[in-house]
Chain A
């Protein structure tokens, strides 16, 4: 009866139907189930600008190097406050148009950082503009491609009110004396990136991270280890704009080396700026506040690193002082 080796109809029909059945069970049915999920409360659909940005994101295939998924393991905790949920992709993973399907945003390579919460981590527009024009202006070690075709150089006479200028130094331009203007595609892409944040689902409602058992170096106390955390936290949180050298980027981000505020024996203003951000000087980009992202200990460690590096010299800040300033700001 089962003469597969002689009956080609039986052999090929069995192989074909077997595969179709298995495929239905393992792909089509789970896929249909995954479509059933509903958006999280408080989630908003992408606006037209953000959607345009998503198209640029797909068109440049950013997914080749950037993931958008926080896995439920501890090492991914740096990329989001909770592991990603199926609902998180309700609005972003819809069919783009007749020609193009739902984008594969989850990705499979993390050559560059995960972007699930880049909107929270990097809310400033100036940083994104510089970074897209040439990533190595803001992150020297970066290997990300530059996207000069999202920008154009205009002679100062042609620049209009609506144009968004990019604060690059003159020697990076092909036409000296011209101004670098972001094209609408760049602005849309930035709008999309700024929209990338995780929706808060409350403390105990989301899934937990699976903890790892590595020994936490950070828990050891003593001044030396506190310094070490300061360097690391600075590298993770501040160096993207102010640079590891503390020199900042002329025209975009102010230097910390030799800064009056950083070297002020009274750390009040410095800590206030770290907590609630700063946008008082029009020649520089806006700085976001870090009150929700960093603890008092972490802010103290960062402040002390800044106050004792690159030739700076100022007395140490304690976590207690930071806590007081935090309270003072909250009251306001």
Chain B
């Protein structure tokens, strides 16, 4: 009850803020100090934070109340037990307890009196200094998950294809970014900017992120349902369908066949149909696996995974149905589609992955199941409604724009709930971060989840739209989210699971180089485009000649290309690391002991 009240209050507050902005004379001269940019952000951040603390405390009182009930019950039964005991029995129990209380260890229970001797040669290496002074010596993965051969191969297939598309897609992205500095790089129609840009975006979307997500998802769904995948054949078929969609789609885009230029649906419908079929098969396969689970509860990850799949299938169908897409009908759908593509597919699914891989990497349970549930439903409710914020001040209906802005603010709730959940799960394990090569990726991803999403909500305001819309700031935002959040989290998941499954560790130095180059590259990319985009928007507001804003961007485009190069090179390193991890296992097989693997047998 209280929770709904808080949510309603929050929404009311945001409506108030948004209405305050529709005063037909926003002061663009002092945009930086406008209440729309600073005040709202701060206020709502604080309120949401307080709301979540309140929700947390309410939940904990409820749990305490229940715990007390069981405690008093136990006390009653103990009392009646004590009363029924004989005096002699009581003495015996007391003496035993006394002896137990005074017992202390001697210190050589395990080794005995003999000196230390590695008679069987179990210790292979003793080191007091790190191998490489540049990067911290990371802990080796000792846990080995006994995985069925078929599942392991499936994982490697999906992840391998994803890595290929990442390298290809970002190579194209890097090339396209360099064209801002050297527009005369080539004279070929197939490599022109307009045609290559969607090749970059679609490849990293449908090739890299989607395939990596589905591959990692198969492991989660099988593991958390404690059963084997419903059908490996279906999974393989889906793999072929999705990869061929990306391949054929890219060739068509480069030859000048695109669906109409709407972002992320540039593939014409027969190609999109291939991908959609792949998704439908995957969804069916996941659903059957969950339905056949060997435990009664559906783990929270699977909510997100199934939600992501079902929602995205709906989305593709709505995005490609022609009957309501003439005139600005297409624009309404475009806003809806491009935002939901990011929100319902990449974000939802990746969150589901984090709900499994983060706790397993830390070897402890997720902080709060309930926060995960709250974030799931609010993700569905709020994210769905905000697509039109890509078309603020456009000829689309004003009410549609306002709804989009209001619910963009509502996005604080799932974002804060998710971030809190992940950070609280990490709490107490901070020291593990410097020792692990996986956790830094998680940390960066989670922090970007908060920063990127919050910044996106702020960007939806009408005032911020004045300055940032149509500029490179948008590009910075999309890289902050698709790269900072999705890609970093996917790397984290891959580094955390592949060594456990194959038994091969990635080279430590390689992971270090990968992390730092990608991280620094992203920062250079983001900051330069944000700064340049802001200046460009201000130049437009000033009414300066347009070409001046192109000249002004030049140094920022150079920095973007530098950042992009770092990111691309880090992907080459990552591809090598992945190859090292995915190689055939050299470790001796471990006896299957876990209940999971016996369920497979």
Contact = CB atoms under 8 A, between A and B. Distances in A.
A15 B25 contact: no
A250 interface: no
A210 B26 contact: yes
B385 to A, nearest CB: 5
A64 B194 contact: yes
Nearest to B386: A26
B192 A60 contact: yes
B328 A108 contact: no
Interface string A1-41: 00011101101100110111011001110111111010000
Contact of B260 (A28, A64, A104, A113): A104
A110 interface: yes
* Chain B: number of interface residues, binned into ranges: 35 or more
A62 B400 contact: no
A257 to B, nearest CB: 20
B102 interface: no
A116 to B, nearest CB: 11
Contact of B194 (A35, A101, A145): A145
B318 A104 contact: no
B474 interface: yes
Contacts of B329: 31-32, 34-35, 102
A99 B268 CA distance: 6
A34 B263 contact: no
A61 B191 CA distance: 12
B261 interface: yes
Contacts of A78: 543, 546
A44 interface: no
A65 B194 contact: yes
B303 A15 contact: yes
B547 A235 contact: yes
Interface residues of A, number: 86
A215 interface: yes
B507 interface: no
B324 A110 contact: no
Contacts, number: 274
Contacts of A85: 395
B139 to A, nearest CB: 34
Contact of B197 (A61, A106, A136): A61
Interface string B180-194: 110110011100111
Interface stretch (A69-77, A274-282, A303-311): A69-77
A18 B380 contact: yes
Given A86-B327, A102-B327, A31 B193 contact: no
Given A11-B298, A78-B543, A86 B192 contact: no
Contact of B187 (A15, A27, A72, A148): A148
Contacts of B198: 61, 64
B464 to A, nearest CB: 13
Interface in B454-470: 466, 469-470
B303 A110 contact: no
A93 B325 CA distance: 9
B344 A19 contact: yes
A83 interface: yes
A112 to B, nearest CB: 8
B306 A104 contact: no
A84 B395 contact: yes
B514 interface: no
B49 interface: no
B290 interface: yes
A6 B300 CA distance: 11
B384 A144 contact: no
Interface in B261-305: 261-263, 266, 268-270, 287, 290-291, 293, 296-298, 303
A173 interface: no
A113 B474 CA distance: 17
A236 interface: yes
B395 A86 contact: yes
A217 to B, nearest CB: 9
A102 B325 contact: yes
Contact of B393 (A18, A27, A72, A147): A72
B332 A65 contact: no
A104 B338 CA distance: 12
A187 B184 CA distance: 23
B168 interface: no
A26 to B, nearest CB: 5
A62 B383 CA distance: 29
Contacts of B400: 26, 30
B326 A19 contact: no
Interface stretch (B130-138, B251-259, B422-430): B251-259
A32 B324 CA distance: 5
A212 B541 contact: yes
A93 B397 contact: no
A95 B269 CA distance: 13
B391 interface: yes
B330 A101 contact: yes
A213 interface: yes
A108 B390 contact: yes
Given A12-B287, A34-B328, A144-B183, 8 more contacts: A4-B303, A15-B306, A26-B387, A30-B332, A106-B334, A143-B179, A145-B194, A232-B544
Top 8 nearest A-B pairs by Cβ distance? A61-B194, A110-B470, A71-B393, A63-B261, A104-B262, A31-B329, A27-B336, A34-B328
18 contacts: A8-B290, A12-B306, A15-B303, A15-B306, A16-B314, A20-B314, A28-B324, A35-B326, A65-B194, A73-B466, A93-B330, A99-B268, A101-B269, A106-B334, A139-B547, A142-B550, A143-B183, A149-B188
